[in-house]
C-alpha cells in the first residue's frame, strides 16, 4: 500500500497558499529532518482582500481540514500541531474546531498581527512572541522553523486536500474565490487547471460588457485583459472582475492603502517604495516612469514576498491601461 508521501507525490498536490511548492516534498523534508521534536502548522490567516476560501473551508469542511493535520501528525513522528487562525476566524471557529480536534495534540493559535502573518516565517516569529517580521531564508522552516525545530506549514486548503488524497477522493480540483463585478460571487471548486475564462463561464460570471480581471489575489494579483483570459489562475486562486472603465488611479490608491498598513517596515525598498508610491498617487502630475522604476526596484530588492509581489498589480494595471 502507498504511504501518504507517495500519494501526495502522485496527486501532484501543490501548496494552495500561493507559493505552489510540491506538498509531498515539504512533508518529506520535515519527516527526514533529524530532531526529536517537530511542528505542524495549519495556516489559516488568509488576509489579502478578496481571498476567502480558507474561511469557506473552515465553515463547510472543518473535519476534513483537521483530518489533514492529523494525517501529517501520524506520518511525521515526534510532532505537535497548531492551527494558526486569523483573529476573526479564531472567534468564529474555535469552539467547533476544538470539538473536532478532541484529544489530538493540536492547539489553536490566535494570530496577533495582520496580513504579513500569513507569510510562513513571519507566522513562526509571531508564534514565538516576536515582532511580526519575516526571517531571512535559508535556513528554511522544514529544517529550522518554530522554536528552531523542523516545521511543516501548509495552508487550510492544502490540508483539506491532503485528507482527500489519503482517502483516494482527490479529483485534481481547487477552490477559486470569485468577486467584484459579478452576479455569482463565491467560492467554487473546479479543476485546478481551469483557465480564467473557463471559470467565469462555468460559474455563470462571464460579463457581457467589456471588463478586466485581477488574478491571484486582491492586492498583489496580476491584471489581465482579454488575451489573458486563457491563463491559468495562480496564487491564492482568486479572480476579481472589474468594469473596463474602472478608474486606474482609484484602484491603485485602494491597493496602496492596504500595503501602507500591512508592510512591516523592516526593509527600505518596500517601506520607502510603498510610501513613495502612495505619495505620488496623491499628487497631480504623476511621474509614471519614476513610479515604474520604484516598483521594479521593489520587485528586485525587497526582503520578502510582500514587497516583491506588490508591484505586479501596479505594473500590470499600468500596462493594461497603457499608462505611461
User: By the criterion CB under 6 A, which residues form the site for ligand SF4?
Assistant: 116, 134, 263-267, 270-271, 302-304, 306-307
Beta carbon nearer to ligand SF4, 85 or 270:
270
| Nearest to ligand SF4 of 30, 274 (CB atom) | 274
CB of 291 to ligand SF4, least distance (A): 17
Least gap, CB of 23 to ligand SF4 (angstroms)? 25
Return the number of the residue (221 or 307) whose C-beta is nearest ligand SF4.
307
Q: Which is nearer to ligand SF4, 57 or 298 (CB)?
A: 298
Q: In what side-by-side order are the strands of the sheet with 222-224?
A: 186-191, 173-180, 238-243, 211-215, 222-224
Would you say 211 or 314 has its CB closer to ligand SF4? 314
CB of 16 to ligand SF4, least distance (A): 22
- Residue 307's alpha-carbon distances to 34, 169, 195, 221, 259, in angstroms, are 33, 37, 27, 13, 9
Rounded to a whole number of angstroms, the minimum distance from the CB of residue 308 to ligand SF4 is: 7
What's the min distance (Å) between Cβ of 271 and ligand SF4?
Answer: 5
CB neighbours of 291 closer than 8 A, spacing ≥ 6? 277, 280, 314, 318
- Across the beta sheet with 79-85, the strand order is 106-110, 79-85, 38-44, 151-155
Instruction: Please work out, in degrees rounded to the nearest 5, the angle formed at the alpha carbon of residue 159 by the alpha carbons of 36 and 102.
Output: 70
DSSP string for residues in 252-272: HHHHHHHHHHH--S-SHHHHH
**Which residue minimizes CB distance to ligand SF4?**
307
Amino acid at each position: 500500500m502507498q504511504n501518504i508521501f507517495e500519494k501526495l507525490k502522485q496527486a501532484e498536490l501543490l501548496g494552495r497558499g500561493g507559493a505552489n511548492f510540491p506538498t509531498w516534498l515539504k512533508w518529506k523534508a520535515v519527516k527526514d529532518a533529524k530532531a526529536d521534536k517537530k511542528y505542524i502548522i495549519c495556516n489559516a490567516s488568509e488576509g489579502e482582500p478578496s481571498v476567502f476560501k480558507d474561511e469557506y473551508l473552515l465553515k463547510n469542511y472543518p473535519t476534513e481540514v483537521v483530518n489533514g493535520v492529523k494525517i501529517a501528525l501520524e506520518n511525521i513522528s515526534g510532532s505537535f500541531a497548531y492551527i494558526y487562525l486569523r483573529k476573526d476566524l479564531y472567534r468564529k471557529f474555535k469552539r467547533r474546531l476544538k470539538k473536532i480536534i478532541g484529544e489530538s495534540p493540536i492547539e489553536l493559535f490566535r494570530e496577533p498581527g495582520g496580513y504579513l502573518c500569513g507569510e510562513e516565517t513571519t507566522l513562526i516569529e509571531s508564534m514565538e512572541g516576536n515582532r511580526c517580521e519575516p526571517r531571512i531564508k535559508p535556513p528554511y522552516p522544514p529544517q529550522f522553523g518554530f522554536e528552531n525545530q523542523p516545521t511543516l506549514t501548509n495552508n487550510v486548503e492544502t490540508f483539506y486536500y491532503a485528507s482527500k488524497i489519503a482517502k483516494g477522493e482527490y479529483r485534481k480540483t481547487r477552490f477559486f474565490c470569485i468577486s467584484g463585478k459579478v452576479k455569482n460571487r463565491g467560492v467554487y471548486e473546479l479543476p485546478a487547471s481551469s483557465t480564467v475564462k473557463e471559470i467565469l463561464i462555468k460559474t455563470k460570471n462571464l460579463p457581457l460588457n467589456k471588463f478586466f480581471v485581477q488574478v491571484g489575489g486582491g492586492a498583489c494579483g496580476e491584471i489581465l485583459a482579454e488575451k489573458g483570459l486563457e491563463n491559468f489562475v495562480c496564487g491564492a486562486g482568486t479572480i476579481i472582475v472589474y468594469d473596463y472603465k474602472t478608474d486606474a488611479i482609484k484602484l491603485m490608491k485602494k491597493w496602496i492603502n492596504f500595503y501602507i498598513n500591512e508592510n512591516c517596515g523592516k526593509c527600505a525598498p518596500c517601506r520607502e517604495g510603498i510610501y513613495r508610491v502612495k505619495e505620488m498617487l496623491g499628487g497631480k502630475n504623476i511621474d509614471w516612469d519614476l513610479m515604474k522604476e520604484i516598483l521594479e526596484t521593489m520587485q528586485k530588492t525587497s526582503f520578502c514576498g510582500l514587497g516583491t509581489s506588490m508591484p505586479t498589480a501596479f505594473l500590470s494595471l499600468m500596462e493594461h491601461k497603457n499608462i505611461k
